[in-house]
Amino acid sequence: MSSGHGSHGLKLVDINVWFGMDGRGTLKIGDYEDKRRKDARFAILTTGLKNLDPDIIAIQEANKLPAYVNKLARVLNYDAVWKVANAGLKVMGWGIPLNFTAGNAILAKKGYSLQYLGAKRLSGWGIQGDLFSIHFKEMRNAMAAKVIINGQPVVIFNTQTHYSLILDETWRQAIDEFLRKSLLSTRERNRILKKIQASHLRTEKEIIKLLTFVKDVTRKHNYPFVIMGDFNTTTDSPALTELIRELGLLDPYGLKSLDPHSYTWDPLRNSNTQYDGSNFRADGATRKGLRERIEAQFDSRVSRRIDFIFLSPHFTRDMIADAQLIFTKPTGDLFVSDHYGLKVVLRDLPP
């Protein structure tokens, strides 16, 4: 089976497709966009993916599942597997929130024998599924699948970890200043700081659980592997550093990019980031809580690289032909997502 760019190569794409919601609501989740705009973004996405012609695609924030992924796979003529991350209360696919059954997916070209290998919950409690779901708070997971290309099995991991502030010294000072200006009592200020710290630690713990999941899967399926996803943190993260070190991972974009300012979250250029960077919820009238307003300030001011494609040590640097950000420019005035995507092209697969 040819991969479309060489008989032994591999082209990988990762993209958070952005469900365009504020994550709040019971009957329905607050929606920043109408159907026309969502459909337009989907059309731009599919046209772009057809032009890129990847072998494997990992997406995050697909909503609603499984309809979104089935439609994407049908338009592209790919096979697909997926895992629901958040759905609320659903029985036989019906329940609340009415407009929200979101998660991650892996797509592969026809003929690559795409096989779902399972998933691991990284945080949260409850049950998540297409037809049956019961949970009341955000959950995060990682999923794994296997493909066979030119007779070589490759394991693909996909994840999206919890969003949290990146607590470097600059932002610790900014948070403290923001809280002082809010005229909070010492007790209230300490409560907010504790929540921010807990959120940050949650992301770190999820990455360590991902490390365990990768080890468990690759013990059973001892093949070259790729980890893709929206990690919501940077390579300065101690947990992400440990993941890379423990597994001996290569970061193709980090190795190939000559631009130190190549970010996948870019509030200076990507207009879709304005929604998370707003002090108001999707209705435009309800003011976010104090901690959420601090997060909004962070999202509206801090560019960062938080989306990654990592390669297992079976791959070598000389196998990497290209690594680029994708979907970095709008079509008309419309960006595909609030994240930029990532493309990695490999000359060869490991023997």
d(CA 117, CA 157): 10
- Picking from 163, 170, 275, 151, the residue whose alpha carbon sits closest to that of residue 229 is 163
Can you give the residue ranges of every domain in the chain? Answer: 10-346
Check if the beta carbon of residue 5 is closer than 8 Å to that of residue 343: no
- Picking from 280, 279, 270, the residue whose alpha carbon sits closest to that of residue 306 is 270
Residue 340, C-beta contacts closer than 8 angstroms, at least 6 positions apart:
263, 264, 265, 266, 270, 307, 325, 326, 327, 328
Residue at token pair 């710290």:
197
Residue 168, C-beta contacts closer than 8 angstroms, at least 6 positions apart:
236
Check if the beta carbon of residue 213 is closer than 8 Å to that of residue 120: yes
- Picking from 236, 230, 195, the residue whose alpha carbon sits closest to that of residue 310 is 230
pLDDT for 5 = 39
- Picking from 48, 17, 47, the residue whose alpha carbon sits closest to that of residue 33 is 17
* Angle, alpha carbons 2-62-16 (nearest 5°): 75
d(CA 347, CA 193): 47
Strand partners, 309: 228
SS3 state of residue 323:
strand
Q: What is the pLDDT along the chain (351 residues), one digit of tens a residue?
A: 334 434 568 999 999 999 999 999 999 999 999 999 999 999 999 999 999 999 999 999 999 999 999 999 999 999 999 999 999 999 999 999 999 999 999 999 999 999 999 999 999 999 988 889 999 999 999 999 999 999 999 999 999 999 999 988 889 898 988 888 888 898 999 999 999 999 999 999 999 999 999 999 999 999 999 999 999 999 999 999 999 999 999 999 999 887 767 999 999 999 999 999 999 999 999 999 999 999 999 999 999 999 999 999 999 999 999 999 999 999 999 999 999 999 999 999 998
**For residue 223, what are its two tokens?**
């093949």
Q: Does domain 10-346 have CATH number 3.40.50.1970?
A: no
Query: What is the sign, positive or negative, of the torsion defined by CA atoms of 72, 76, 77, 81?
Result: negative
pLDDT for 7 = 52
Q: How far is CA 94 from CA 27, 81, 99, 269, in A?
A: 12, 21, 10, 38
Query: What is the sign, positive or negative, of the torsion defined by CA atoms of 281, 284, 286, 290?
Result: positive
Strand partners, 226: 156, 311
**For residue 331, what are its two tokens?**
């079509």
Write down the H helix ranges in the chain: 35-52, 67-76, 169-181, 186-220, 238-247, 252-256, 290-301
Residue 34, C-beta contacts closer than 8 angstroms, at least 6 positions apart:
none
DSSP state string for 1-61: ---SS-TT-EEEEEEE----B-S--SSS--BSS-HHHHHHHHHHHHHHHHHH--SEEEEEE
